[in-house]
Amino acid sequence: MAKFVERPHKVRYLKDIREIIRYGKDNYGESPAYEDKHFPGETERRKISYRQLYDDVNALGTALIKRGLKGKKIAVMSENRYDWVLTYYAVACGVGVIIPLDRELPAGELVNLLTRAQASALVYSQKQKKVVDAAIEKLDFVEYLVDMDGEGNQWRNLSIKGLLEEGYKYMEEGCTEYIDVEIDNTALMAIYFTSGTTGNSKGVMLSHRNITSNVENMLKRMYVKRTDKGLSVMPIHHTFEFTCEVVPCMVMGGTMVFCDGLKYIQKNLKEDKISVMLGVPLVFETFHKKIFTTAKLKGREEKLRKGMKLNAFLQKIGMDRSRKLFKEIYDLIGNDIRVFIVGGAPMNPEVIRDFRALGVNMFEGYGLTETSPIIAVNADYQQKTGTVGPPMPGTLVRIDNPDSEGVGEIVALTESRMIGYYEAPEETEKVILEDGWFATGDYGFMDDEGYLHITGRKKNVIVTKNGKNIFPEELEYLLNKSDYIKESVVWGKEDPETDELYITAEIVIEKDNLKGLTDEEVYSRIKDAVESVNKSTTSYKRIKKFNLREEEFEKTSTRKIKRHKLNLQ
């Protein structure tokens, strides 16, 4: 692989999100910005043009200001839908501070986060109504509750529909109070609460420029076409989905389609002619598994592999024949898909290679909410599978305190770095270092060709008695490659008798692949898988003990295992 050479696509300077919305109205006009069916009573997708988006943002923003919410904090909690982005844009572009909340929050955590942020309004959908109703008695400080699916406006209980009607009326009367607001692109715009328990989640404070600079630099690496249609699948309250798919699509004049639900992804890809989709590894690994399981059941796996090998060769000489060679697969997912973007967790390099051989380009990147989020990403013109790509344009990365293998903490300097943690100056000081560098808390190394490799989280690292570092993510990745293991968690445990540290694993079995086997036979298959991993690694990393379970681990809305909920002792 050759050393990475930056060849950026041309992207205009993105001052703030309001400028992006205005540019869309002026240049893309009646082209659809969004397609959604999450409207009350709607069964078919409604198309929202760039012009209508601009007008709706101004109307909703005007109504919110007239309701006395200027300069205040407003939370939004719902499934991915047009009303969510409308609320975000309206609040962020002239009203106050937007607080995107996890749509899966239980009532207790909802109360806690709204209290910590002192939110003056909560915008939610009917799917979150039960949680809101359960929390209502403790939300007396919230001035307005705004129902996305409601009809009118009644005192404290408002609706998006009613507020839009109010806003359009004020604008018809000549009110320009919202439209005339000047945006400070370095001031606090949004507070994103990180995943975790109520007690330890942090409020990441971001500005317009934090997000727009990240979008701007990402688009220099990956070209988004005016004709592209993106499928919004991942929870939109995360910067990963919002910054890396929703906003870039709008910048380039594409169309964002809101997924009907996880079980409808394949259907949406085909019927809505999707060309770009972002997701976590689990989503794409499920796709991959389905493709090859189906081929195997039909006795066509060998033929499929031969076709992929041929297509990979043809791609190198500019003769991609994927649509003809793999017609049956594209009949299922649609002929328009061209790009998969993966992040949030390490991706099996074999899956990436397979999708590229099938004709779908796949990009892997790395980042955190605190960096809005991308720090490094592969480019569409030069990629290195098994890495998260080179640092983004405009981003510097260094490795602090590297060990003998060059592995150390990843530290980044970028315009996308957060303002700080909300009302937590001591926590902010721990991660924002001298001269503005940000300590990620992740371990990794840079190779000689300029690509970044992630080895694991600093807080998860297992340190042996002789000072060796073991990254559980590495062993989990190897374990999860087995057909008999669904997922796993690895940690270090001290032997009370010898005071020595040994590696243990909690393993969730893949029940579908172990049907009909006795408990002893299941244990034997898993033991063989563990031994296979042990043979492939050095002695001090070997797994000494393991436990089996059928129930999956509790996860965040982006499908990350909640390690803090496990009793890893």
List the chain domain ranges. 17-182+226-271, 276-458, 461-565
Mean pLDDT of the chain: 92
The confidence band for 418, taking pLDDT boundaries of 50, 70 and 90, is very high
Asked if 230 and 273 touch (Cβ cutoff 8 Å), the reply is no
What pLDDT shows up at residue 323?
93
Tell which wins on pLDDT, 330 or 496.
330
What pLDDT shows up at residue 163?
97
Structure-token pair, residue 57: 């943002």
What would the mean pLDDT of 476-496 be, rounded to a whole number? 88
What pLDDT shows up at residue 473?
84
The confidence band for 130, taking pLDDT boundaries of 50, 70 and 90, is very high
Q: Is the CA virtual torsion 503, 504, 509, 513 positive or negative?
A: positive
Q: Which CATH superfamily, name and number, covers 17-182+226-271?
A: ANL, N-terminal domain (3.40.50.12780)
What pLDDT shows up at residue 200?
66
What would the mean pLDDT of 505-512 be, rounded to a whole number? 92
What would the mean pLDDT of 220-225 be, rounded to a whole number? 94
What would the mean pLDDT of 173-181 be, rounded to a whole number? 97
232-289 per-position pLDDT tens digit: 999 999 999 999 999 999 999 999 999 998 889 999 999 999 999 999 888 898 889 8
191-202 per-position pLDDT tens digit: 999 864 334 689
Asked: is 461-565 a CATH 3.40.50.2300 domain? The reply is: no
pLDDT reading at 1 higher than 70: no
According to CATH, the topology of domain 276-458 is: Rossmann fold (3.40.50)
Winning range, highest mean pLDDT, from 137-151, 197-211, 473-487? 137-151
pLDDT reading at 92 higher than 70: yes
What pLDDT shows up at residue 466?
61
Which phi and psi angles does 168 have, rounded to 5°?
A: -65, -35
Query: Which own/partner pairs from 265-271 qualify as long-range (CB within 8 Å, at least 24 positions apart)?
Result: 265/231, 265/233, 266/332, 266/333, 268/231, 269/231, 269/333, 269/334, 269/337, 270/332, 270/333, 270/334, 271/334
pLDDT reading at 74 higher than 60: yes
Same fold, 17-182+226-271 and 276-458: yes
What pLDDT shows up at residue 563?
78
What pLDDT shows up at residue 460?
81
pLDDT reading at 342 higher than 60: yes
Task: Of 1-5, 166-170, 460-464, 500-504, give the lowest mean pLDDT range.
Answer: 460-464
